Chain A
Amino acid sequence: MSTHHISITVNGKTHEADVESRLLLVHFLRENLNMTGTHIGCDTTSCGACTIRLNGTPVKSCTVLAVQADGMEVKTVEGLVENGALHPIQEGFHEKHGLQCGFCTPGMMMTSSALLERNPHPTEDEIRHAISGNLCRCTGYMNIVKAVQYAADKMAEKVEA
């Protein structure tokens, strides 16, 4: 069968569609659902601009078929804001100038927000290691690290509160 009916929950909302087997998840999000916050930057699964969270786990959505996400939950950058409030990672990127052109930013935030859930107090080297699957051409990563550290502090505050 080369077309399939799929049902994917994206940022809490369930979408149904008939798609070709070969449809990449990133294209399903960008073209079928018009959610263009997730970006495409390369052909070789190298850059990570397409990173989203599949059942919570950061994956490069250009290298996952949409049919593989059938029945699963996807979280994209559009789903970071909760109840009108920015996610600490978004705040961090803004406060610490962690973005310039903004193209790698959604993928960076998806990867780093997952890192902080797994490891709430990462060292600088652990942050750099965790984001080494996401390429940035503008920032030289310095302020991205600061942004993640800011978010870590913010999330720790919330836990304490």
Chain B
Amino acid sequence: MTEIHGLGSPRKRVEDARFIRGQGNYIDDMKLPGMLHLDIVRSPYAHAKIKKIHTEKALATPGVLAVIDGPTLQKYNVHNMPTLMSDTQMVLPIDTVKYQYQEVAGVLATDRYTAADGVAAVEVDYEPLPVVVDPFKALEPGATKVRDDKESNHIWHWEWGDKEKTNKDFESAEVTVKENIYIPRIHVSSIETCGCVAKWDATNAHLTLWMTTQAPHAIRTVVALITGHLGLSEEKIRVISPDLGGGFGGKVPAYPGYVIAVAASIVTGAPVKWIEDRTENLAADSFGRDYHITAELAGTKDGTLTSLRFKTIADHGYTDAAAQPSKFPAGMFHICTGSYDFKSAFVEVDGVYTNKAPGGIAYRCSFRVTEAVHAIERMTDVFAQKIGMDAAEIRMKNFIQPEAFPYTSALGWEYDSGNYPLALRKAMDMAGYEELRKEQKEKRSRGEFMGIGISSFTEIVGAGPSKHFDILGLKMFGSCEIRVHPTGKAIARFGTKSQGQGHETTYAQIIAEELGIPADHIKVEEGDTDTAPYGLGTYASRSTPVDGASAAVASRKIREKAKKIAAHLLEANEDDLEWERGRFFVKGSPDQGKTIQEIAFAAYTNHPQGMEGGLEAVSYYDPPNLTYPFGSYICVVDIDRGTGKVNIRRFIAVDDCGVRINPMIVDGQIHGGLTMGFAPAMMEEISYDENGNIHGANFMDYLLPTAVETPKWELGETVTPSPHHPIGAKAIGESATVGAPAAFVNAVVDALSHLGVTTIDIPMTPRKVWELMHKHGATLEE
């Protein structure tokens, strides 16, 4: 009997077979006959006029076929493209560059080595212009404008909550705390960079675009809209996302390189490949974070939190190319009341233009949730520190209690379910919290700096209900189409796109659970817009809550029809039938039944008259709400007072993602997510000097942790199903990245709190920690 591998099975991954053999099919593996290579000339200046592009040397290089510039693209009106936030992004500039490493010209050649030579041979005369890198200065009157087509550097203002009540509550509060928190710019740095192969078929006016994209359908529609005036039409555009070597949000946006490649293919009639190198990836494609938050909490002397007020300056680079739902330019930042029962709250965010690369969505953050959680979890500790309360105690005191769900926060989110005290208690037990506090006291008396940091986060994922969520107008429903074959096997296609999350394995488990068809007999496909149902892709942890729900709903539609067929086969009344996973049987006569396989066969050979044959269904699932995974993390650190190095002694992570489809994969997602919370907390940062020169454009400067630095994560779980999700699942992909950074910061601040330290910005590099201790006279001079 083939195992079903339904929900809860640690089913081994289907995807592995090709990857462990080196038979993955990534973009740069593609080789088509006659394929040309595109490489890109980039600006060394953060802000400059382009006086002249000298192409003679490049064009004289054997094998270089063309140098494409902005004016060339302008003839076809594809020199600009809309961003997902309805702003404008240059594909290639006409006369001005706005950030260092911006695309200036494309060089098309017969092979990648020649293309690189061509790029090196292009000479550009620039006239540098004043540079804007400080978003606060950018908002001052008289500041140099980043954008010639805009009035100022202020992009938008967004606010949410009850301003009046919040201000009143702050005025009358017994205790208030305030800190400035900067969450710096970081980069997803998937080990595979971005790229595409564009293939224009002139005979049929058909474009095939293989692309590193987490949202192939959205890209297809956007390409159709951008190139409609050139004769391309959506039914003649096929976007294929093959295997992706990581995504984390960085493969959501459309980058200029893709558009130039498409244009080059149309002009030459040959397939054109473009693939970034790492420097281009880090310097020019989508960053994450870059939020300057002034955070305030108000409450009582005995530790009740009452009110929250956050003001944020969001540095967006030279154009707003984030990818937020259109109603929420700051994403779901207003989840920032977190796991606590605030009576009032008010948040405002102002987007600002600077001479930096555009972006802002990416880095495993689900729509600015990491920024929000970082702020609330930090400020909760700041408040606790001010009144001298233990970090666990203040959380327990202020948690939204299990009975309060579904709970509507002061900022309007309806949390589906949660049991915060249970998760925190579990984490505390795993950590031996009370013992650790004793140890800390004892160590402190001997001048040893040990810290314990907690983060009890609530995530918000599964965008989203069509009433509130769309990207560029496209509603964010999930999609799943299932066909069951005569021999009882099935194929299921989705509008999402895995970049390592294991959809080929886990989606099958959902369907297996619903239909009783063994997961091994269910083929899962994603990524080809010609065959997959329309979907908004995979990011912001939406696949399980939205498309996973579609899988369950589509399966149930199939089961409904299967019941009719079973009734027909068993010559019984539908109402007299019962279902157990994999078969219908007559109530009271369990040996009188039909398996799903028998039913499938009958769907094609012996269906009831008057009914259509076949056995398939499609579901475009409009989630009624978001889902709210949560957890409690505890971090234990020891600080080297001589060097500032922080040793992560332990990290306990208790996660609740509702029903766990595949515990092996859930744990893997948490391990990876924690590591992408650890790295920004301790070592990752992209920064710019006052001339807009980037620091962090290669892996010597942009620090990704190795197996040596990465802590040995200790995992625990609680399970609080989502009441509105068809299978009670919530999502897990990004929780750990959202929840972890604050735990690290809280631990380090805790270790130094007796010195009067209340805050430190990430990344907490050795130099930063040392300088903070030094400022307080607490470094150890041996």
Contact = CB atoms under 8 A, between A and B. Distances in A.
A–B touching in complex (CB under 8 Å): yes
A102 B500 contact: yes
A137 B189 contact: yes
Nearest to B12: A94
A101 B698 contact: no
A53 B710 CA distance: 26
A140 B244 contact: no
Contacts of B667: 97, 142-143
A143 B668 contact: yes
B707 A103 contact: no
B704 interface: yes
Interface string A63-99: 0000000000000111011000010001001110101
B680 to A, nearest CB: 13
Nearest to B700: A44
A94 B16 contact: yes
A93 B31 contact: no
B706 interface: yes
Nearest to A127: B707
Given A78-B22, A99-B20, A103-B24, A141 B502 contact: no
Interface in B2-30: 12-13, 15-24, 26, 28-29
Nearest to A35: B22
B615 to A, nearest CB: 32
A16 to B, nearest CB: 20
A145 to B, nearest CB: 7
A17 interface: no
Contacts of B1: none
A35 B699 CA distance: 25
Contact of B20 (A38, A93, A135): A93
Interface in A12-46: 20, 22-23, 27, 30-31, 34-44, 46
A42 B278 CA distance: 5
B712 A142 contact: yes
Given A99-B16, A102-B15, A77 B21 contact: yes
B243 interface: yes
Interface stretch (B81-89, B133-141, B529-537, B670-678): B670-678
Contacts of B230: none
Contacts of A78: 21-22
Given A43-B279, A100-B500, A102-B245, A136 B22 contact: no
B713 A142 contact: yes
Contacts of B499: 101
A140 B246 CA distance: 13
Interface residues of B, number: 58
A35 to B, nearest CB: 8
Contacts of B708: 128-129, 132
Contact of A143 (B20, B278, B502, B671): B671
A39 B191 contact: yes
B191 A137 contact: yes
Given A34-B31, A43-B278, A93-B20, A103 B246 contact: yes
Nearest to B24: A102
Interface in B687-724: 698-700, 704, 706-708, 710, 712-713
Given A42-B699, A138-B672, A140-B710, A103 B113 contact: no
A152 interface: no
B668 A103 contact: no
B22 A38 contact: yes
A131 B706 CA distance: 8
Interface string B28-49: 1101000000000000000000
A63 B700 CA distance: 15
A144 B664 contact: no
B192 interface: yes
B671 A44 contact: no
Most chain B CB within 10 A, of A38, A80, A97, is at: A97
A43 B707 contact: no
Contact of A103 (B188, B192, B713): B192
Interface stretch (A2-10, A104-112, A153-161): A104-112
Contacts of B501: 100
A139 B192 contact: no
Nearest to B279: A43
A49 interface: yes
B707 A131 contact: yes
B735 interface: no
A67 B351 CA distance: 52
B21 A103 contact: no
Contacts of B192: 39, 41, 101, 103
B190 interface: yes
Contacts of B243: 101-102
Contact of B190 (A27, A101, A133): A101
A118 B112 CA distance: 37
B668 A97 contact: yes
B707 A81 contact: no
Contacts of A22: 113
Contact of B191 (A38, A49, A124): A49
A140 B675 contact: yes
Contacts of A40: 28
A114 interface: no
B26 A43 contact: no
A39 B20 contact: no
A47 interface: yes
Nearest to B364: A137
A35 B248 CA distance: 27
A137 B668 CA distance: 11
B164 interface: no
Given A137-B190, A137-B248, A86 B671 contact: no
A139 B22 contact: no
A103 B194 CA distance: 13
Nearest to B16: A94
B12 A81 contact: no
B442 interface: no
Given A34-B31, A139-B672, A44 B699 contact: yes
Contacts of A80: 21
Interface in B195-247: 243-247
Contact of B22 (A27, A36, A46, A141): A36
Given A36-B22, A42-B278, A44-B700, A141 B668 contact: no
B665 interface: yes
Contacts of B668: 97, 100, 138-139, 143
A47 B113 CA distance: 21
Given A47-B699, A103-B191, A145-B707, A138 B278 contact: no
Contact of A105 (B12, B19, B190, B675): B19
B409 interface: no
Contact of A137 (B19, B23, B112, B246): B246
B636 to A, nearest CB: 18
A81 B21 contact: yes
From A49, A102, A127, A143, residue with most partner B Cβ within 10 Å: A102
B727 to A, nearest CB: 21
A41 to B, nearest CB: 4
A97 B13 contact: yes
Contacts of B12: 94-95, 97
Interface string B501-512: 110000000000
Interface in B713-743: 713
A131 B13 CA distance: 23
Contacts of A99: 16, 19-20, 500
B277 interface: yes
Given A47-B699, A139-B668, A140-B674, 5 more contacts: A22-B113, A77-B21, A103-B26, A105-B19, A143-B671
30 contacts: A20-B113, A36-B26, A41-B193, A77-B20, A90-B20, A93-B16, A94-B12, A94-B16, A99-B19, A99-B20, A101-B191, A102-B243, A103-B24, A103-B245, A104-B191, A105-B19, A106-B22, A129-B708, A132-B708, A133-B706, A134-B707, A137-B188, A137-B246, A137-B248, A137-B676, A138-B672, A140-B710, A142-B712, A142-B713, A143-B671
